[in-house]
Structure 1
Amino acid sequence: MHTICNPDQLVARTAARVTMAIGVVLFAASAHAQQSTLTETGSTLLAPLFTTWSAAYTKLHPQVHITVGSTGSAAGIEQAIAGRVNIGASDAYMSDSDSMKHPQVINVPLAIAAQTVNYNVPGLNDTHLRLDGPTLAGIYTGAIRQWDAPAIAALNPGVHLPHHDIVPVHRGDGSGDTFVFTQFLTFSTPSWESALGYDTTIAWPAVPGAVAVSGNLGVVNALKTTPYSIGYIGVSYAADIDSAKLGTAALKNGAGEFVLPTRDNITAGAASLAVRTPPDERLSLVFSPASGTYPLVNYEYAVVSKQQPDAAVAAQIREFLTWTIVPSDENATFLQSVHFIPLPPHTWELSYQQIQSIK
């Protein structure tokens, strides 16, 4: 049975693990001289971080080249299960059915991220409109069609909302961002849960004017060029959101508070639920009931087979993934550049243990 230590024990044990992990990474720099290539594909939210990691890691380990693909979380999971890539990057964990069918494939959190809800409403993009799960569900089912609809007006007293049709933008590819966003709608809105649920792809209702795009950058560009539109975007695209001058919503959390996706609120959202993370680390961090928490928070996963065909490749994967989670000033800078936060001690230890199982 898995036992959760008290905080002091956990921090001490994790510190020892970190010291050992740093030793492993330092040893790897001299232990592997042969040229090798590791392949990664998947999450567009993770892609900017994997690109940064790849360049930095190759500087430290010139013999290791890491290819980075930005194909969506569903593709990352599928490619990792099929053995066509070494690492599948995903904002979503594998489903129960996939995990049962493929017990050799593990889901390893590397960091914590979030999604934002953004919009292009002329004259209001400097205003943080308040939105909640049921209202967003209404927009994406077509039950709420205008920006000045009573449900939106009730959440935003004193704001002059335009009488104009809403253009909902959603991902058309298999997306972990869709997984997280539809979890929020599912957990907050019973009618959405019973009719649509959550996944990397869902049967989006046919809303007049709705737009389907691929990738986070596709959502940014669609919102930028489409007045009165709304969509969901991974937080690693914050600079693109700012450049496009889009509005960012304050979302209603499980405690009934309207909160923005600040670092403190994302950290609080993760901290309130991460202690529940099971050994296989498949856990939603969405819609925490705790005060001060941002509701669209998620683990960023490396989906990897424990059973590698080559021991040398397995060692390279272990060393790279360990390097990505080892606490350091450099890694903190990498995470901050894409607005991610590091794993808390409980999750860090579980991720380290899973990485060591790759053979």
Structure 2
Amino acid sequence: MKSLRCAIRAWSLALGMLLLALPQPSRADNGILGAGSTFAFPVLAVWGYDLLNKGGFDYRAIGSGGGIKSIVANAVDFGASDAPMKPEELRERGLVQFPFIMGGVVPAANLPGIESNKLNLTGPLLAKIFMGQVRRWNNPEIRQLNPDLTLPPIDITVVHRADGSGTTWIFSDYLTKVSSDWANTLGTDKEIAWPVGIGADGNSGVAEKVRSTVGAIGYMEFGAAMAKKLTLLRMQNRQGNFIAPSMESFQAAAAHADWKHAPGFFMVLTDQPGAEVWPIAGVTYALLPAHSDHPTQTRRVLAFFDQCFEQGQKTAAILQYVPMPPSLVDTIRHRWDEQLSFRSIHLDPAALGTRVGQK
């Protein structure tokens, strides 16, 4: 199963590169055009594959910040962001948002001789590394947490995002919660004034930079780390347990989320309670105009996501994402009816000319 997941993810990334190379479809072509999160890029590439030759699907992985700017400028049919917008921000910009995929952000390293899921870190220590306060892998604080490991006496190279990123928002939100030093100096944002390190674009860019740099550590979407076969690290969660990143630990982070009572679906899944919880989990949101100038196009976008919820969840799981629970999907569809006046009573899958996620 692991090799199948890696093969499908590699295929999805190759497909994504093809999407980026193709001419950008226009609304006049009845294509669907989206932009934003690189976190969700692999699964959107696969979900959109059937649409590629049947009306057109183009998703530009330019980072969550770019996705928000694009939908606000009415330059795309939907934006995608890993950083949720607060209800007042949605109202101010005339947008609605809904979650469509969940997953984990993981610290991953290039550490020769250290196996995945063997090295332990705490949140405050991770913050020190990314603030440049801990600069060697054999630092006493790291050794104290890992007495059974022979840590290499090499420098730590921090790799971070160079673009405006929802993955950065999730990561920095977690560090803000667990480190007062981080909270007081850097805080939570899609772009951080990094005191150390080198930047790379996108999750895959960070993963590749870590892969090619001995001693490097970066943060990225789980599947990107798996695809590059990086050394995964165990993180101490809120209950004090050291947890390895996995589908199960990501699902545990979302287990108690009360989506039904979350205004505007605003939900943050970092540092959640629970014995088996991965502490750096996140959600990717689709952003749409509340009052669209192109209602037919927006209905097509909703029909696309409707089918993804129905038929694309197994694919999401294979790609190391957490599928949307049925109860949450029901809540999302109910919100569509409440918030989008142009939303048709019944979304006809035939309008897309395809069945998403099925081959």
Instruction: Output the TM-score relative to the length of structure 1.
Output: 0.82
Residue 290 (structure 1) aligns with: 274
2:313 maps to 1:332: yes
* Superposition pairs of residues 251-290 of structure 1, within 5 angstroms: 251-275=235-259, 278-290=262-274
2:208 maps to 1:221: yes
> 8 Å contact 2:259–2:267 — kept in the other structure?
no
Structure-2 separation of matches of 1:111 and 1:352: 15
Quick one: structure 1 residues 133 and 277, their matched pair in 2 at CA, closer, same or farther if it must change by over 3 Å?
farther
Q: CA deviation at 1:97?
A: 6.2
* Superposition pairs of residues 209-248 of structure 1, within 5 angstroms: 210-242=197-229, 246-248=230-232
Structure-2 separation of matches of 1:311 and 1:78: 20
2:57 maps to 1:70: no
Structure-2 separation of matches of 1:275 and 1:354: 11
2:157 maps to 1:167: yes
Runs of 4+ with >6 A deviation: none
Once the two structures are superposed, what CA deviation does each residue of 1:108-139 show, in whole Å capped at 9, x if it has no partner?
Answer: 10121111110011211445211111011101
Q: CA deviation at 1:146?
A: 1.0
Structure-1 separation of matches of 2:154 and 2:298: 55
Q: CA deviation at 1:333?
A: 2.3
> 8 Å contact 1:272–1:290 — kept in the other structure?
no
SS at match of 1:334: helix
> 8 Å contact 2:117–2:234 — kept in the other structure?
no
Residue 21 (structure 1) aligns with: none
> 8 Å contact 2:71–2:79 — kept in the other structure?
yes
Q: CA deviation at 1:348?
A: 2.2
Structure-2 separation of matches of 1:192 and 1:346: 36
Mark the runs of 5 or more structure 1 residues left unpaired by the alignment: 1-33
SS at match of 1:40: strand
2:35 maps to 1:41: yes
Q: CA deviation at 1:154?
A: 1.6
Residue 55 (structure 1) aligns with: 49
Mark the runs of 5 or more structure 2 residues left unpaired by the alignment: 1-27, 343-359
Once the two structures are superposed, what CA deviation does each residue of 1:235-287 show, in whole Å capped at 9, x if it has no partner?
Answer: 23244222xxx100011111111111111111111113345750311110111
Q: CA deviation at 1:47?
A: 1.0
Quick one: structure 1 residues 253 and 234, their matched pair in 2 at CA, closer, same or farther if it must change by over 3 Å?
same
Structure-1 separation of matches of 2:116 and 2:245: 15
Residue 145 (structure 2) aligns with: 155
Q: CA deviation at 1:216?
A: 1.0
Structure-1 separation of matches of 2:260 and 2:297: 32
SS at match of 2:330: helix
> 8 Å contact 1:322–1:355 — kept in the other structure?
no
Residue 70 (structure 2) aligns with: 79
2:127 maps to 1:137: yes
Q: CA deviation at 1:170?
A: 0.4
Structure-2 separation of matches of 1:320 and 1:98: 25
Structure-2 separation of matches of 1:350 and 1:82: 28
> 8 Å contact 1:273–1:288 — kept in the other structure?
no
Between stretches 270-279 and 335-344, larger displacement belongs to 270-279
Residue 204 (structure 1) aligns with: 194
Residue 83 (structure 2) aligns with: 92
Structure-2 separation of matches of 1:144 and 1:255: 24
Quick one: structure 1 residues 332 and 238, their matched pair in 2 at CA, closer, same or farther if it must change by over 3 Å?
farther
> 8 Å contact 2:120–2:242 — kept in the other structure?
yes
Quick one: structure 1 residues 99 and 314, their matched pair in 2 at CA, closer, same or farther if it must change by over 3 Å?
closer
Q: CA deviation at 1:99?
A: 2.8
SS at match of 1:280: helix
Residue 349 (structure 1) aligns with: 330
Quick one: structure 1 residues 127 and 314, their matched pair in 2 at CA, closer, same or farther if it must change by over 3 Å?
closer
> 8 Å contact 2:259–2:265 — kept in the other structure?
no
User: What residue identity is the alignment partner of 2:271?
Assistant: F
Quick one: structure 1 residues 238 and 192, their matched pair in 2 at CA, closer, same or farther if it must change by over 3 Å?
closer
SS at match of 1:300: strand
> 8 Å contact 1:254–1:289 — kept in the other structure?
yes
User: What residue identity is the alignment partner of 1:301?
Assistant: Y
Structure-2 separation of matches of 1:351 and 1:132: 35
1:120 to 99, 110, 114: 110
Structure-2 separation of matches of 1:169 and 1:52: 28
Structure-2 separation of matches of 1:277 and 1:118: 34
User: What residue identity is the alignment partner of 1:42?
Assistant: G
Residue 299 (structure 1) aligns with: 283
Structure-2 separation of matches of 1:223 and 1:35: 40
SS at match of 1:88: strand
Once the two structures are superposed, what CA deviation does each residue of 1:6-63 show, in whole Å capped at 9, x if it has no partner?
Answer: xxxxxxxxxxxxxxxxxxxxxxxxxxxx96111101111111111111113457xx3x
Residue 28 (structure 1) aligns with: none
Residue 11 (structure 2) aligns with: none
